[in-house]
Chain A
Amino acid sequence: MSLALTGLGVTSGIAIGRVHRLTPGELSIPEYHLDHDAVAAEIERLRQAFGRGEHFFQRLLDRLGAGGAETARELLEAHRLILRDPLLIEATEERIRSERINAEWALVQQSEQLQNEFRRMADDYLALRREDLEQATSLVQRELADQPGTLIGSEVPHQLADTIVVAEELGPAEMTVLAQRKVAGLITEHGGPWSHAAILARSLEIPMLVGVHNALDLLGESEPIILDGHYGAVLAGPDDSLLGHYRDKREAWQRRRLDLRRYLGRPSRTVDDHAFTLLGNADLGPEFQRCLESGVDGVGLMRTEYLYLDHSQPDEDSQYRAYRAAVEIMQGRPVTIRTLDAGGDKLPTILAFAQGPNPALGLRGLRLSLAMKDLFRQQIRAILRASVHGPVEILLPMLTSIEEVRQARSFINACREDLRAEGEKIDPELPVGGMIETPAAALIADQLAAELDFFSIGTNDLIQYVLAIDRSDELVNYLYDPTHPAMLMLLRRIQQAGRRHNISVTVCGELAGNEQTARLLLGLGLDRLSMPPAALPAVKRSLLEADSRRCRAEVEAYLDGRSDHADGLALLKSLNDPSRDD
């Protein structure tokens, strides 16, 4: 091997392919919001681009004449019909109107949605039509960019199944186009795990590394490389034995993924008929789509930080549109929206002015929202307004005291009254829940349960605060142990408080999305889990094949010091031992 680079793996997949270095502008599709009075002109621009595209195909057809080859004629005819298709044109216009976005961006979104429908048809012929749609759309994109039509012919290879794209940074539209072309993997020099691109890569299960310094300088065009998301490594110039090893690994991973999909349609009940509930975590449109496809019972955690990535203060209307879109995609399944959880490791930029000496213990989560009431008001109003379109719940992050809950609830009530006075319709029963992720909140769970409509346990933060270790600190991360008895005792305490007050308790965070720990949670009586949709199939299988009574008995015995398991690891091993499943 000639070179190894490291970065942060966003997904744990493996990609093998040749490098394509994406130069700025090569694929750029502009994205911007429109002023109200610019909408009509934008729609006209879109129509003209479609018109020119159709005209282009018509001229080709005319030139082909009657003697032209039948297949060429059919292909051109198919493209021409797509370019006058109301499902594409009118729906794109509607996006421009309702979301007030530019034509290019609206077209990418509409095309993506239609392509998803074609994908769902699981028919080889229709799969080809999906490609027609993609090509026809790219012609219109070029027209929109005021470039005269050349048939397809972008510099980016059309099929990227064996290509790993290396870029400085990637935007959401670029991600969409790359995903449509089935890119094998992605490497960026900048961007963190919470960038748009990273979130999309996770939801689309594209192997991706971020933060690979100088990747564009160090990786040559067409150079064969291996991307290992699990170890966060790029291996350049691999020899045959390494390639073979990774091909096997990739194949095993893909086989397993397909295998697991079989469990998705089954009712969520353990072998001893204990019902459990699986929910999805999602931020952006495609992830909600994935949640729906995975058969979730709802979205247990919609994070909202990404809304604040582009603008330091997204206005109420743009937030409302994002929440409404999410609610509509979920078709009546509840969506739990977590209010801004900035601070700590997340998005320090919008807090530049409010950064204390220790961000993890500083102005973050609900504390920040209560300190910045204008920001909070916009978000609450947007959520309340979205609640008429389907079931919505509000989740308050980073609680430590009852006083915070009372303040937040009275603030929410005030917003509700304002909206009512303005004549807006809102869901009068909208539940308000709290994130239990600090030791304080866990210890006073009983009192909090009396003030809240539901609990959600954020295990990642809770573990760090309980064990007093920062996972990203390499000197202490060996102490990071989700099965530490202190952690399990707190989880049991929270679950019991929820049961006593008859409110639901959902676990989100990595423990919920890990097939190894799902049974541990089941054993603690925590049977509502929210996770990234990609994790759902494996967790579902693990729980379908579990015996809830056995899990419960084993975990209880372990916590009471009555079991012979030496540590949490041994407990996990026993809980997941397939020979004990029956």
Chain B
Amino acid sequence: MIERTLTLSNRLGLHARAASKLVRTADRFEAEVWLEHDGRRVNAKSIMGVLLLAAPCGTELLVVCEGPDEDQAMEALASLVDARFGEDQ
């Protein structure tokens, strides 16, 4: 199991498109992926769970991956967040 804290720097945080992209990314891997924020832990492969986290810009998100491809999953999520989900700002 690996953990890493990622900081959301895109303008809208885990809203709309960002949530959808995150879920689709997590879904590509076999590993289980969890997100923690504000005492709440959700399955990163659940669109509704991710939306209900309602994590705004600036949030420090704890990502937990567990499974055979956990390293690749973490890498993919980190680069998605770092690239601000491909949003303009």
List chain A positions with a Cβ less than 8 A from chain B.
74, 77-78, 81-82, 84-88, 114, 117-118, 121, 123, 125-126, 129, 133
Q: B51 within 8 Å of A by Cβ?
A: yes
| B23 pairs with A81, CB closer than 8 A | yes
Provide the B65-77 mask, 1 if CB < 8 A to any CB of A, else 0: 0000000000000
Q: Does B20 contact A (CB under 8 A)?
A: yes
Contact among B16, B17, B45, B51 with A86 in the assembled complex (CB-CB below 8 Å): B45
The reply to whether B54 and A121 contact each other, CB–CB distance below 8 Å, is: yes
Counting CB contacts under 8 A, is B47 at the interface?
yes
Contact A85–B47 (Cβ < 8 Å): yes
**Are A129 and B51 in contact, with the CB atoms below 8 A?**
yes
Nearest CB in chain A: distance from B68 CB, A: 19
B46, A121: Cβ atoms closer than 8 Å = no
Q: List 15 A-B contacts (CB under 8 A).
A: A77-B20, A81-B23, A81-B24, A81-B47, A82-B48, A86-B43, A86-B49, A87-B43, A87-B46, A87-B48, A87-B49, A117-B52, A123-B54, A125-B15, A129-B51
How many angstroms between the C-alpha atoms of A385 and B20 in the bound complex? 43
Q: Which of B16, B17, B46, B54 gathers most chain A CB within 10 Å? A: B46
Cβ A126 vs Cβ B23 within 8 A: no
Chain B residues with CB under 8 Å of A86's CB are 43, 45-46, 49
Q: Given the interface contacts A86-B43, A121-B54, A123-B54, does A129 sit within 8 Å of B20 by beta carbon? A: no
Residue B48 contacts which of A77, A114, A123 (CB distance < 8 angstroms)?
A114
What secondary structure prevails in chain B residues at the interface with A?
helix
Within 8 A of A (CB), among B10-37: 15-17, 20, 23-24, 27
Determine the distance from Cα of A88 to Cα of B45 in the docked complex, in whole angstroms.
11
- CB-nearest residue of chain B relative to A82? B47
Looking across the interface, which residue of chain A has its beta carbon closest to that of B23?
Answer: A81
Quick one: which of B16, B20, B24, B49 contacts A125, CB cutoff 8 A?
Answer: B16
In the assembly, what is the distance between CA of A85 and CA of B51, in Å? 12
Top 4 A-B pairs, shortest CB-CB distance: A81-B47, A87-B46, A85-B46, A87-B48
Q: Is the CB of A126 within 8 A of B17?
A: no
CB distance from A413 to the nearest CB of B (A): 43
The size bracket of the interface on B is 10 to 19
By CB atoms of chain A within 10 A, which of B15, B43, B45, B52 has the most? B52
Q: How far is the CA of A133 from the CA of B47 in the complex (A)?
A: 10
Known contacts A81-B20, A81-B24, A121 near B52 by CB under 8 Å = yes
Instruction: Write out the residue numbers on chain A whose beta carbons fall within 8 Å of the beta carbon of B47.
Output: 78, 81-82, 85
Which chain A positions have C-beta within 8 A of B54?
121, 123, 126
Residue of B nearest to A79 (CB): B47
Give chain A residues whose Cβ lies under 8 Å from the Cβ of B16: 74, 125
Q: B44 → chain A, closest Cβ, in Å?
A: 10
Q: For the complex, what is the distance from the CA of A133 to the CA of B51, rounded to whole Å?
A: 12
Max chain B C-beta neighbours (<10 A), residue from A74, A86, A88: A86
B29 to chain A, nearest CB (A): 14
Closest chain B CB from A294 CB (angstroms) = 22
Closest B residue, CB atoms, query A77: B20
- Bound-state Cα–Cα, A57 to B76, Å: 25
Q: Distance in Å from the Cβ of B8 to the closest Cβ of chain A?
A: 16
Instruction: Report how far A364 CA is from B54 CA in the complex, Å.
Output: 52
- Interface contact B48-A88, CB-CB below 8 Å: yes
Closest CB of chain A to B38's CB: distance in Å?
13
Q: How far is the CB of A230 from chain B (nearest CB, A)?
A: 38
Contacts of B24 in A (CB 8 A): 77, 81
Which residue of chain B lies nearest to A87 when distances are taken between CB atoms in the complex? B46
Which chain A residues lie closer than 8 Å to B43 at the CB level? 86-87
Chain B residue numbers with a CB within 8 Å of A129 are 48, 51
**A87 CB contacts on chain B under 8 angstroms:** 43, 46, 48-49
Q: What is the minimal beta-carbon distance from B30 to any residue of chain A, in angstroms?
A: 14
Bound state CA distance, A86 and B45, in angstroms? 7
Q: In the complex, what's the smallest C-beta–C-beta distance from A516 to chain B, in angstroms?
A: 40
Known: A85-B45, A126-B54, A129-B51. 10 other contacts (CB 8 A): A77-B20, A78-B20, A81-B23, A82-B47, A82-B48, A84-B45, A85-B46, A87-B48, A118-B51, A118-B52
Nearest-Cβ distance from residue B55 to partner chain A, whole angstroms: 12
Cα distance A164–B20 in the bound complex, in angstroms: 37
| Residues of A close to B49: CB separation below 8 A | 85-87
| Chain A minimum-CB-distance residue to B43 | A86
Residues in B whose Cβ lies below 8 Å from that of A123: 54
A74 touches B20 (CB 8 A): yes
Shortest Cβ distance from residue B45 to the other chain A in the assembled complex, whole angstroms: 6
Structural contact, B17 and A74, CB atoms closer than 8 A: yes
A133 to B49, CA, bound (A): 12
Identify the closest chain A residue to B54 (Cβ): A121
- A114 CA to B52 CA in the complex, in Å? 10
A81 and B44 CA atoms in complex are apart in Å by 12
Chain A residue nearest in CB terms to B42: A87
